[in-house]
Chains A and B, each alone.
Chain A
């Protein structure tokens, strides 16, 4: 509290002191018969010089920052797509830096050079069509080059992934990522958010999960039957607001239940197997070097954005729709650590769309392995399919042994 008081007093005294200074300045300038709308030549020239000095510092500052920080934070691009992006980015930077230095130089240099000199009149020069044509056409040509190169890259980056791309789903929610490998068939099982349950966090669609969701909706601890029982019980005492909230809740659940029955009607059992062999992976995402990946993104609750800074890839995740991107890692984590001279370096997936208080903590470490160790990891991991985890041990065994073979 004391410090606040002292700060307050200091501020007030500062303002008073400033007021006095200005008063003195004004009185003295009155004595000198100067007036506030005429800029004395001395001030004018001083500002002109400061313009030039500022320019020098501005340029030096930028150059210093470029050399010190221009490349440290990013590191080399670690994907085929990223290498191309960086090439184009550097090219664009060369162009815009040239424009920046040229035009800022002219601006500040003219400010310095053409400062008012007593007796010299300004040059009346209202327009010149030729000049104006030049600086319409030259930027237009430069823009054409930038647009053509940019769109060429853009088309490549957004083209669909190749046939041998491994499909991985990245599922986002407040505040973490979950990965789902498409399994042996490289086809992701279908999903529907209404099937979300403790043992089916990613809401995969299979005959069993639909049945289970219907069961929970009807007879679960907060299911329709329980609610109806409460509402129909003459002895329950509920106040009006709770009652109306319960009714709204009940009608919502009944609607969801109808949709679940519809889903059951449309679902074909043959689709089950593409879901059972999917592999769910938390915390760390493992990728294989020089392997193209197609990422399908989903969001459970809000918009998130999957940002892979080192792979120069990014895509928003949107509730209610699937978005996609692709990239091919070209360095393993080990190789990248050597390049970055940082034994603790890791690739990362960040959330880059504001999604609540802990948004800044939402990330997933990515480990890129060489083919051999990736295969070893995958072999181990493929025992933990969705099917294996969903069913009690004996059933799972049957599924694992039978499931993939059929496909």
Chain B
């Protein structure tokens, strides 16, 4: 089967070479079906969404550090309606938190990370002319863009955006009487997410088909770079889990608009006795987290894949335990589907069910540990080159460890009781999923920028950006663990009520909140360095050589100037795995995948 597909593809290539057609502006930049352009469109959109989400977080961090104090920054962005006299309104605080979470998780780290790098790297690293379906690929971007615009639009309506937290638990999200954001804002949230999911599904199916069918001659599954393995498993996770979120969103929509009772039962709200009976809010949580937990790995696996590639390249060493790395990606992918209940230990779910989820969840620590130790061994006795990408990739390993170990505590149901929904949880998932994935994304951007734009990013500015970001990240999230241990619940507009019953814990929370906010502002300003570097280098960066990092994988055999179809002549043929760095018996410290095995040379 695969060989037939390959032959057909080959014919198409020949045909393609025959006539070169000029692309118009619209087909080149806007309705492009070229995977590289679509990848860049995803990146640009995600960068913009990321800036918005970061700004939102700075706004609510200001409120948390200096509650009740007037802030020009808040009144500048939110105006009199949401920040009268520069003091944030309670409802809008929750709106900011909700949209920050939604954008970061779905639009930046799902759409942005896997959308950008799956698109750019899957065909290039597999030796394919393009994705299996260029049209569907374009469609997936446009769905993503439309959903982004709807989500942004919801920030500007008079009743405010969705305010029920990014997990939008009903009944709060189902009842406009409960909160202003549960009106139109919530409707827009659900519409936006439904479109987002459709786009993400189209994209994922395309990635899966491409990986299975369009590998070039010699590119067996076990010669694929780990990036591709990560994208492949990520896409499978997306296809299996996102439809469940869609169903949850649709049922919620019906509860809101059609009077059904999937998630509602025996409710009196705003003085009105609702007739809904028999539904269960916990059902929604099951559906939500059936996506929600695989989602964590949808966010994380691409970042781990990117960093595997970057760390191997810049250590000038093969990634240690290639097969074990694939095995752990598969194990993590599989386990991620049977652990969702650890978000629900204290919802009233049957305690026995809770024990099962404790068991499955803690199992994930094993493949994760394997990955960490393999990274460490890759660095061991390497010849490390600290490009900004390499720095970010190493920082990813650090945050993956730091956030991972606290996960052990939260996965232990008996301990989760005491710290569930506190800032300890917020710190945990921001480090392990937020920071790791963001670092992975930055690493990817710095590393593949020459491939995307044919120019280099400025290295020194990259260093400045990296160190500010790393220090900022730990400065924000280390203290946050202690706020959580002090018993501070998340999603609190302010903690002044702690002053009523526990002075010392109140003082501690306030002290730490100020520190956290200062670090978060510094880290946010640090991103300006990146933005400047990024946009400046697109236009004025120094021209990139074909293979700037002396890397083995196929994308660096394509010409620097972007061409439709990726390779000017025939597709390359692959003879070896992508990690032959510093192989004994070779004069250079890298042997690209296209180089045939020498006489008597053994494959890894």
Contact = CB atoms under 8 A, between A and B. Distances in A.
A41 to B, nearest CB: 10
B317 interface: yes
Interface stretch (B35-43, B139-147, B238-246, B541-549): B541-549
A4 interface: yes
Interface stretch (A348-356, A376-384, A388-396): A348-356
Contact of B412 (A43, A92, A192, A314): A92
A106 B169 CA distance: 41
Interface stretch (B15-23, B185-193, B300-308, B350-358): B350-358
A194 B545 contact: no
A44 B386 contact: yes
Nearest to B457: A36
Contact of A135 (B281, B369, B471): B369
B94 interface: yes
Contacts of A319: 171, 264-267, 281
Contacts of A131: 373, 377
Contacts of A150: 358, 362, 412-415
B377 A357 contact: no
A156 to B, nearest CB: 8
A321 B348 CA distance: 9
B502 A22 contact: no
Contacts of A353: 169, 421
A157 B413 CA distance: 10
A132 B463 contact: no
Interface stretch (B210-218, B225-233, B268-276): B268-276
A323 B280 CA distance: 13
A172 to B, nearest CB: 12
Interface residues of B, number: 142
Interface string B391-412: 1001001100110011011001
A169 to B, nearest CB: 15
Interface in A47-100: 47-48, 50-51, 54, 58, 61-62, 65-66, 69-70, 72-75, 82, 85-86, 88-89, 92-93, 95-97, 99-100
B485 A114 contact: no
A144 to B, nearest CB: 9
A124 B68 CA distance: 59
B379 A114 contact: yes
A302 to B, nearest CB: 5
A96 B405 contact: yes
Interface string A121-132: 111111110011
Interface string B361-398: 01101100110111111011111111100010010011
Interface string A285-323: 000000000000000111101010110111110111101
B463 A65 contact: no
A65 B172 CA distance: 36
Contacts of B406: 96
A161 interface: no
A174 B321 CA distance: 54
Interface stretch (B114-122, B437-445, B488-496): B488-496
Contact of A107 (B164, B376, B413): B376
Nearest to B324: A132
B459 A100 contact: no
A143 interface: yes
Nearest to A362: B497
B275 A114 contact: no
Contacts of A300: 267-269
A106 B501 CA distance: 43
Nearest to B421: A352
A347 B501 contact: yes
B501 A348 contact: yes
Given A65-B479, A124-B583, A357-B94, A72 B504 contact: yes
A196 interface: yes
Given A69-B486, A127-B320, A127-B321, A114 B351 contact: no
A47 B504 contact: no
A306 B365 CA distance: 30
Contacts, number: 405
A65 B481 CA distance: 10
Given A107-B401, A320-B277, A346-B502, A54 B471 contact: yes
Interface residues of A, number: 128
Contacts of B417: 85, 157, 312-314
A37 B549 contact: yes
A92 B265 contact: no
Given A39-B386, A316-B346, A350 B489 contact: yes
A25 interface: yes
A303 to B, nearest CB: 6
Contacts of B315: 114, 122
A302 B265 CA distance: 10
Interface of A: 3-4, 7, 15, 18-19, 22-23, 25-26, 30, 35-37, 39, 43-44, 47-48, 50-51, 54, 58, 61-62, 65-66, 69-70, 72-75, 82, 85-86, 88-89, 92-93, 95-97, 99-100, 103-104, 106-108, 110-111, 114-117, 120-128, 131-132, 135-136, 139-140, 143, 146-147, 150-151, 153-155, 157-158, 174, 192-194, 196, 252, 255-256, 300-303, 305, 307, 309-310, 312-316, 318-321, 323, 340, 342, 344-348, 350-361, 363, 365
Interface of B: 72, 76, 89-91, 94, 164-165, 169, 171-172, 175, 178-179, 264-269, 273-275, 277-282, 315-318, 320-324, 346-348, 351, 354-355, 358-359, 362-363, 365-366, 369-370, 372-377, 379-387, 391, 394, 397-398, 401-402, 405-406, 408-409, 412-415, 417-418, 420-422, 450, 456-461, 463, 467, 470-471, 474, 478-479, 481-483, 485-489, 491-495, 497, 500-505, 508-509, 512, 528-529, 532-533, 536, 540-542, 544-545, 548-549, 579, 581-584, 589, 604
5 contacts: A19-B536, A48-B384, A122-B315, A303-B281, A319-B265
